Structure 1
Amino acid sequence: MQRTENRQIELTKTDGLSPLQKGYIVMAGVLFIWSSFVLSIRGIGASPLTVADVALLRFSVPMLILIPYIRSRLAVIKKVKVSDILLLLLGGLPFLLLVSLGAASAPSAYVSTIVTSTPPFFVAVISYLFYRQKVSLKQTFTLCLIVIGVMIMITGGRAHISSEMLTGVCFLLAAGGIWACYTIGLKRAGLDAISLAIITSYLSFFITFILVVFGGLNSNVGLFSLQQALPFIIVQGIGVGILATIGFSYAVNKLGPSNASVMGALSPGLTSLLAVPIYNESLSLIIIGGISITITGVIFSSRV
């Protein structure tokens, strides 16, 4: 009997995946969702939906799915400071609007690289200016790599940059700064993934809805079909709103923040590759070099 039980335990250890392997698998799925987020934002211009419509879908889907969890998380949510909630809300509608404005005139490689790579730089700057946290020499080096990589991508070896492209880059840089504020709020609030999703989804939905009702944002609700909205429901609502939020939290728990951040840094490269067949975008050696330097900077910054 004892031998049978021992044999079953050995088979479970051999056939089952380790927590580390599960973490890597989940993080790989999160990477594809993040890349799909950028690609779907690029696709708004070719669809009958407006940014406000996508935002309503993005926040309403997790809002409905998370209804059963509200009661158990209410006590935790009530303890969050108003200032921290405001920081968290920056990662909702404001971030989505800025990314969509940037994506309207910048290729997917620029959108993904700038939005995902510049937050560590902005976090360091904000922490130094407002929280008096010193920046070490190693941190300065890694942050310089990020800036250099982005600058290489922006210039692209060209003497002249169009005003349209420059405007798009400015929106993307602003989105990176907004996301940095969101991550600071996330650290200060100390919420679990579900509580975080409840706060951002419910409040962001109602803010978007009010802006649409009073004409602050344009909406084409009623002018598009469910089939046309379905890709955004899957990617933005289910993918980004639920799976990526919970999946990244799970990956951090299994892999550790450093390893999860290293994998997350690969997102710009994956997005750029996927954009080639989907949007027929080209990747020059200079852009590839800029992405590589930026990714290196992000990876090193997570190790400091």
Structure 2
Amino acid sequence: MNTIFHSSSRKNPLFVMSPLTKGYVAMSVVLFIWSGFALTVRAVGASSLSIADVMLIRFSVPLVLLTPWVLSSWHEVKSIRLPDIMFVLLGGVPFLLLAAFGASTVPAAYVGTILTGTPVFFAALLSFIFYRQRISLRKFAALILILFGIATMIGGHAQSIPNSLLYGVGLLLMASLIWAGYTLGLKSTKLSPIAIAIVLSYTSFFLTLMMVLSGIVETNIGSVSFDEALPFILVQGLGVGVVSTIAFSYAVKQLGSIRTLLLGSLSPGLTAILATLILNESLSVIMICGIVLSTIGVILSNRAK
């Protein structure tokens, strides 16, 4: 019963669009949610919420909201292949843990640039390793430009680069690698966007709960006010957990993994602007240059044959 992107109605313009256009619309929504994701994971350190609290919110909200679709999607869920579920789960606990820990030591602009700018590099690398897809010299040069943009941002941070910044960037790059694997997995799986969201939220929630109960991660959920948790409920739970997961899965199905990641490269600039307006983070000229170089690298990498 996936009625979010499909309908028999002919009156709503959204439903007379081509599948390709719907994919672009879905990805446009994802861009704004991703920027909100980068800002909220960066804001965890300034709140009384722990990373475990954010993870519980992230996965519990879709778990509840998607309950009406569980029975209708059960025929897909019960027949899921092990490789599919492994790829899908990459976008849950592993990605969020690395992204949250990495974001705690770097500016929000770094989070948006690395998490949305470098996955296309790792996607090409993984495609070469697992699917033997060759990388042309022009494409390789464009991918290197992405990494050069990241290096420009880091090098321009200060005269001496703090270890905490390198640590955070390293974790974000690992998260980016995992996200690239998740994206490639979405393209190959036969699961619908709703089924993907259900599998991701349910399994990730119970995995997070096990980590909390075993003491691997700590939770402060009992001492957090609703007003403080509300932004995370809206952005992480509703936005990322439900809307973004379904919309991104749909976009990958319609546009392909590489084209989807190309559109994702527009997120860093949006994140940097929002970080300046909302979190009062400074945006130096060198950081802007790094963002621009990374974005150009992503665009060129997808134009190169």
For normalisation by structure 2, the TM-score amounts to 0.87
Matched to 2:219, the amino acid is S
CA distance in 1, matches of 2:244, 2:162: 35
CA distance in 2, matches of 1:190, 1:148: 36
Quote the residue 2:206 is aligned against. 206
Give 1:198 shift: 0.6
Contact 2:186 2:249 in 1 (8 A): no
For normalisation by structure 1, the TM-score amounts to 0.87
Quote the residue 1:135 is aligned against. 135
Give 1:187 shift: 2.3
Give 1:25 shift: 5.1
* Aligned positions, number: 292
Cα deviation 1:228-266 (Å, max 9, x = unaligned): 211111101110111122333455677776765443211
Quote the residue 2:17 is aligned against. 19
Cα deviation 1:154-194 (Å, max 9, x = unaligned): 11175521111111111111111111121222223232211
Question: For residues 99-114 of structure 1, what are the structure 2 equivalents within 5 Å?
Answer: 99-114=99-114
Task: Report which stretch shifted further, 23-32 or 227-236.
Answer: 23-32
Q: Report the RMSD for the aligned CA atoms in angstroms.
A: 2.4
Q: Report the CA distance shift for 1:25/1:82 in structure 2 as closer, same or farther (over 3 A).
A: closer
SS of 1:187's equivalent in the other structure is: helix
Contact 2:153 2:291 in 1 (8 A): yes
Give 1:69 shift: 1.2
Identity, % of aligned pairs? Answer: 50
Question: For residues 225-264 of structure 1, what are the structure 2 equivalents within 5 Å?
Answer: 225-251=225-251, 260-264=260-264
Give 1:122 shift: 1.3
Q: Which runs of 5+ in 1 are unaligned?
A: 1-11
Quote the residue 1:301 is aligned against. 301
Question: For residues 26-65 of structure 1, what are the structure 2 equivalents within 5 Å?
Answer: 26-65=26-65
Q: Which runs of 5+ in 2 are unaligned?
A: 1-9
Q: Report the CA distance shift for 1:148/1:190 in structure 2 as closer, same or farther (over 3 A).
A: farther
Contact 1:261 1:299 in 2 (8 A): no
Quote the residue 2:290 is aligned against. 290
CA distance in 2, matches of 1:25, 1:184: 20
Task: Report which stretch shifted further, 107-116 or 123-132.
Answer: 123-132
Contact 1:258 1:303 in 2 (8 A): no
SS of 1:79's equivalent in the other structure is: coil
Matched to 2:111, the amino acid is V
Contact 1:60 1:237 in 2 (8 A): yes
Give 1:221 shift: 2.2
Quote the residue 2:120 is aligned against. 120
Contact 1:152 1:290 in 2 (8 A): yes
